[in-house]
Structure 1
Amino acid sequence: MPETPNPPTRRPLRFGAVAPFTTDLPTWTDSLRSLADSGYSTVLMPDTPQWQPAPGPALAVAGSVTGLRVGTWVYACPVRPPWMTAWEAHSLSVLTEGRFEMGIGTGRPGIADQLRDLGIPVDSSRSRSDQVRDVIVALRELDGTDRHTPVVMAVSGPRAQALAAELADTVTFVMPQLETRAETTRRVRQFDNSRDLELALHVPVVGDGVAPFMAGPDTDAAAVRAADSLAHLPSDPAAATDEILRRREELGFSHFVLGADVAGPLAQVVADLAGK
């Protein structure tokens, strides 16, 4: 596939934080307020059944506590019927007065084992991609003509990329954490971004810290850093600032998604760069 000939639009930077509920309620809500004070635009919740509260209710609380945008990072489409996912997404868009973004994908690695544990049939990857389409189509029907809930698609293979090129508002690339900068650059530049979609970058590793729910428990931060992977940002503020600006200029990434548990060293970076 030829590389995209035209560079993407240079968008203002924005930052999202994956903030799973892993403590008591007061501690979690305090952490959300801290994110808001640091310049984050969006509080994001993973879709991990039985590990934490369901994303819908948690995001409704997060939206009321912070006034920030909220979103799923990301709905695993095989876990629930497509129409139910669309209904929840539309409801969150209504209840937050348009501050909800529906992140969706076909499921994290190991989704087949999770589905078996939940007693849900394990479909092919093609069927799961069709389910994503069904969710988005149902969401658009529920939104009607007066509302447009933004859709963020997590994509890997060509089928998912083609669907995102057709229907998504924002795209994030599912990539091996040890993928080199050169390999990721090739992946991004081969994506058909003729609709000039927003590009988001999932960054689970900051310095030596690995964000839970964003990377596997066996992730080696040193190996990720040594690979020059875009899954890593340095914890030094000046170096992180340079990297964020470089990734926007070279590849078009303008939405950076970090883990709330490891992003503390970059709080000032986020505050300084958000919206610029």
Structure 2
Amino acid sequence: MTFRFGVVAATARTGAEWLATARQAEELGFDTLLVPDTVQTLSPFPALAAAAAATDRLRVGTYVLSAPNRAPGVVAWEARTLQLLSSGRLEVGIGGGRPGAERDAEKLGARFGTPGERLRRVAETIRAVRELPDSPPILVAASRPRMLRLAAEQADIVALGLPPQSTEHELAAMVAELRSFGDPSEVHLNVSAVAETADAVPEWLDRMVGGDARKMAAAGGVAFLLGDAAAMAGTLRRRRDELGIGYIGVNAMFMRQFAPVIAELRHGDPS
């Protein structure tokens, strides 16, 4: 199993800065630019269209669309357009809504709905995108049993929705639960921070992870990669070999720090 690497980027001060982020991601060896879906960040589809136009190889993906915010037909329409404009480089990521996503839905005039209703909306959106003539790969973010089942059965890529402080044991348990429902082509895990030590994790990350990021990292939280490039590469190889996790998302604030890890892994995995 070969690795793939995505940069998770949310905003920029100017259009030129956004395009520079996309170009830098491509130059550093990342495979995908992934954009969240929140009202505090850039709107995913136009941001990804701009990024695709500014790059040659970089794939672009939503990470992830909150299902209540858009009707399935709207998502399919946007996806069809971006798949064309990007020359087939789109990945459509969708989920039932992160914690706090109900406030975004309210601001957008959408009904957030019950967990069951949101699950059905994800399934309906998957069907709508699958019906496109040039259907892009579909990623589903999942953490609970019903969504894990849907993702295992219907998605090409499953993004594990674990809290950043989750342990390696909890990661393995979620992967086992996912694979009890099916065997997706790819499993994705996000990295919130890259640092040599837990003490080197920046304090500004606390707001993003909802707690003391340094304590989470020191306790072995799976969203934190620590050590030099070789050590971090070793952690990711072990997760790939033991758990089948080969698609790694990285916070864009750390993409330069992570670039040597990409080089280390690709040197050791030339295939």
* TM-score (norm: length of structure 1): 0.88
Deviation at 1:215, TM superposition (A): 7.2
Q: Are residues 1:28 and 2:18 paired?
A: yes
Q: Counterpart in 2 of 1:191?
A: 178
Q: Counterpart in 2 of 1:159?
A: 146
Q: Counterpart in 1 of 2:191?
A: 203
Contact 1:236 1:265 in 2 (8 A): no
SS of the residue corresponding to residue 45 of structure 2 reads: helix
Q: Are residues 1:223 and 2:196 paired?
A: no
Greater CA drift, 203-212 or 65-74: 203-212
Q: Distance in 1 between matches of 2:127 and 2:207?
A: 30
Q: Counterpart in 2 of 1:52?
A: 41
* Correspondent of 1:174 among 153, 161, 178: 161
Alpha-carbon spacing, 1:140–1:32, altered in 2? closer, same or farther (3 Å): same
Alpha-carbon spacing, 1:158–1:188, altered in 2? closer, same or farther (3 Å): same
Deviation at 1:104, TM superposition (A): 0.6
* Correspondent of 1:96 among 70, 86, 90: 86
Q: Counterpart in 2 of 1:258?
A: 250
Q: Are residues 1:267 and 2:259 paired?
A: yes
SS of the residue corresponding to residue 113 of structure 2 reads: coil
Contact 2:95 2:141 in 1 (8 A): yes
SS of the residue corresponding to residue 46 of structure 2 reads: helix
Q: Counterpart in 2 of 1:234?
A: 226
Q: Distance in 2 between matches of 1:198 and 1:32?
A: 23
User: RMSD of aligned C-alpha atoms?
Assistant: 2.1
Contact 2:186 2:245 in 1 (8 A): yes
Query: Which protein, 1 or 2, shows the higher relative CO under an 8 Å CA cutoff with sep ≥ 6?
Result: 1
Q: Counterpart in 2 of 1:249?
A: 241
Q: Distance in 2 between matches of 1:57 and 1:180?
A: 36
1:212-241, CA deviations, whole angstroms, 9 ceiling, x for partnerless residues? 7x9736432212213312111115212211
* TM-score (norm: length of structure 2): 0.89
Contact 1:211 1:261 in 2 (8 A): no
Greater fraction helix: 2
Contact 2:191 2:224 in 1 (8 A): yes
Number of aligned positions between the proteins: 261
Greater CA drift, 84-93 or 57-66: 84-93
SS of the residue corresponding to residue 61 of structure 2 reads: strand
Greater CA drift, 111-120 or 30-39: 111-120
Contact 2:36 2:65 in 1 (8 A): yes
Stretches of structure 1 that go unaligned for 5 or more consecutive residues are: 1-10
Contact 1:210 1:262 in 2 (8 A): no
Instruction: List, as ranges, runs of 4+ consecutive aligned residues in structure 1 with deviation greater than 4 Å.
Output: 209-212
Q: Distance in 2 between matches of 1:138 and 1:236?
A: 44
Alpha-carbon spacing, 1:253–1:215, altered in 2? closer, same or farther (3 Å): farther
Contact 1:76 1:107 in 2 (8 A): yes
Percent identity, aligned pairs only? Answer: 36
* Correspondent of 1:19 among 4, 9, 31: 9
Deviation at 1:195, TM superposition (A): 3.5
Alpha-carbon spacing, 1:69–1:211, altered in 2? closer, same or farther (3 Å): farther
Contact 2:62 2:92 in 1 (8 A): yes
Q: Distance in 2 between matches of 1:252 and 1:226?
A: 24
Deviation at 1:184, TM superposition (A): 1.2
1:139-158, CA deviations, whole angstroms, 9 ceiling, x for partnerless residues? 112x13xx231000100111
Contact 1:204 1:210 in 2 (8 A): no
Deviation at 1:182, TM superposition (A): 0.7
Q: Distance in 1 between matches of 2:120 and 2:93?
A: 16
Alpha-carbon spacing, 1:46–1:235, altered in 2? closer, same or farther (3 Å): farther
